[in-house]
DNA sequence: CAACACATAATTGTATACAACACTGTCGCA
DNA sequence: TGCGACAGTGTTGTATACAATTATGTGTTG
């Protein structure tokens, strides 16, 4: 293990200390991009070996992720990528419906030229990822679009909540997405962007609301398998 | 230190493992009841000695508290009870205004007899604490009243957010409360309880909204001392 | 006397060691 | 053969040791 650590030291020297933050970021990204599937076990030794840190650091990272509900900690049994239940899925979108439309309105009232440019960039990246056949990355970028809007609204507290909700949404989509509908949401993002650019708060609020409803309705939340999936299913897939 | 640990083992045997949760609870309670003032330093060794656990456990607890923004972690410099800025204070109440009125409406639509009984109990406890001259405890109970309403609304995700916001509100009140207005909010809680008991969602939502506005207006948020208070002031007080 | 530099002490960041618990497979018994 | 007890193995929970960083106090120097 020491060898591996030394092998990664070169790449780590930018991160000086606070090694757990890097692990948090890497794991969160892997979950967001669906490289880690819901239910996957995150063994402390294994994760530590991969990133060249001790279990102490890994534990801190896992605890942090568990607070965002990306990871579920079971006492004496380890950490697993969370598997939101159908009920949790509904709750998350309920909360988003409560927070995001109003936030979009605030954003429309405060948005600057630079913000618009950044948002256009996000959308372009999203399309590019889709064209490259990286739906996981596209989904991640789609989430960042929402977070960017929250940032523009300039309410750090609400932004944090939205960030958590979007992270969980990523897991929910991994579990409950039904392929039927194509990934058409980029259209919704375009419309939102236009509303923001024109400073139309009413429209932005409405568009966000219906966008979230669309998203929710594209999920299959009939509680067919509301029970947590077994590890075997996750590993076999 | 070992002696102390053994000395507490008897009291700890109910908590089997997960020792950090107990530390989290104790520290959070101390903060909520204003026994720990904003800005107070939480040394790992010291906290560990008090609760008879190692720094490992204390660190886990502090990290958890920092995620709820009750504690601020500064790299290589330790953990301090958070000192929300004026801006954060406004943001917290903005978020509460977004979440709680709608939640109160939901609660009114779902409330049961047992819930009403529990809420009455909360209010009674709150009054009792005030009469006993324990304003810190009364404030804590007042927060629990809000959390109870969120619980009744049966949206665990939103409940968690509200829980965080109320925890932070406790710190905000510790910092920015202006004595002028008496602790009259119990009245507001009574009115809310009646609205809930009669199943009047509209009224509950309105009452919650104005209750939060009252609370906000009872704070002194002119940024007289928006800069974080010095440790000396905290210690000298 | 003020200001800087350095040595010292104290505290946090990380790694490792040991203990406690959970899971797995085997053996014995009905 | 089926079920239960038990030991073995591996993983997590906690404590401690060491390294790195910061804060403090002292002495020197302009």
Q: In chain A, which residues fall in CATH 1.20.120.530? A: 86-217
Local confidence band at A42 (pLDDT 50, 70, 90 cut-offs): very high
| pLDDT at residue B67, as a whole number | 95
Q: In chain B, which residues fall in CATH 1.10.10.10? A: 11-83
The CATH code for residues A10-82 is 1.10.10.10
Rounded distance between C-alpha atoms, residue A37 and residue A31, angstroms: 7
- Architecture in CATH for domain B11-83: Orthogonal Bundle (1.10)
The answer to whether residue A74 neighbours chain B at the CB level (below 8 Å) is: no
Q: Do B158 and A76 touch (CB under 8 A)?
A: no
pLDDT exceeds cutoff 80 at A235: no
pLDDT in tens, A173-227: 989 988 665 555 668 999 999 999 999 999 999 999 999 999 999 898 886 554 4
8 A C-beta contact, residue A191 and residue A94 = no
pLDDT in tens, A2-29: 333 333 333 333 333 479 999 999 999 9
Mean model confidence pLDDT for chain A: 86
Residues of chain B contacting residue A59, judged by C-beta atoms under 8 Å apart: 60
Residues of chain A contacting residue B93, judged by C-beta atoms under 8 Å apart: none
Q: To 5 degrees, how large is the angle CA A158–CA A184–CA A215?
A: 40
| pLDDT at residue A12, as a whole number | 32
When pLDDT is averaged across residues B206-233 and rounded to a whole number, the result is 76
- What ipTM goes with this model? 0.87
Unique residue bearing structure tokens 């977004």: B98
Cβ of A55 less than 7 A from strand C = yes
Q: To 5 degrees, how large is the angle CA B107–CA B218–CA B172?
A: 75
| pLDDT at residue B8, as a whole number | 33
Tell me which of A126-140, A220-234, B70-84, B88-102 is least confident. A220-234
pLDDT exceeds cutoff 50 at A137: yes
pLDDT exceeds cutoff 60 at B227: no
- Architecture in CATH for domain B86-223: Up-down Bundle (1.20)
| pLDDT at residue A182, as a whole number | 56
Per CATH, domain A86-217 is 1.20.120.530: yes
A38 Cβ neighbours under 8 A, 6+ residues apart: A81, A82, A83, A84, A171, A174, A175, A229, A234
The answer to whether residue A174 neighbours chain B at the CB level (below 8 Å) is: no
pLDDT exceeds cutoff 60 at B168: yes
């Amino acid at each position: 293990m020491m060898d591996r650590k030394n092998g990664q030291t070169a790449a780590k020297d930018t991160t000086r200390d606070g090694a757990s933050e890097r692990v948090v970021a890497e794991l969160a990204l892997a979950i967001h991009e669906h490289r880690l599937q819901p239910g996957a076990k995150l063994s402390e030794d294994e994760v530590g070996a991969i990133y060249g840190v001790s279990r102490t650091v890994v534990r801190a990272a896992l605890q942090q992720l568990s607070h965002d509900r990306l990871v579920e900690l079971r006492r004496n049994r380890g950490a697993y990528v969370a598997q939101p239940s159908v009920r949790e899925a509904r709750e998350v979108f309920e909360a988003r419906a409560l927070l995001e439309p109003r936030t979009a309105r605030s954003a429309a009232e405060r948005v600057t030229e630079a913000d618009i440019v950044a948002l256009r960039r996000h959308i372009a990246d999203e399309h590019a990822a889709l064209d490259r056949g990286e739906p996981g990355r596209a989904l991640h970028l789609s989430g960042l679009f929402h977070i960017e809007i929250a940032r523009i609204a300039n309410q750090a507290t609400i932004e944090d909540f939205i960030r958590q909700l979007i992270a969980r949404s990523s897991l929910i989509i991994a579990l409950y997405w039904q392929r039927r509908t194509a990934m058409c949401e980029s259209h919704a993002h375009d419309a939102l962007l236009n509303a923001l650019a024109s400073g139309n708060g009413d429209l932005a609020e409405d568009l966000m609301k219906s966008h979230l409803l669309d998203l929710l309705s594209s999920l299959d939340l009939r509680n067919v398998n509301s029970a947590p999936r077994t590890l075997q299913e996750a590993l076999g897939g």
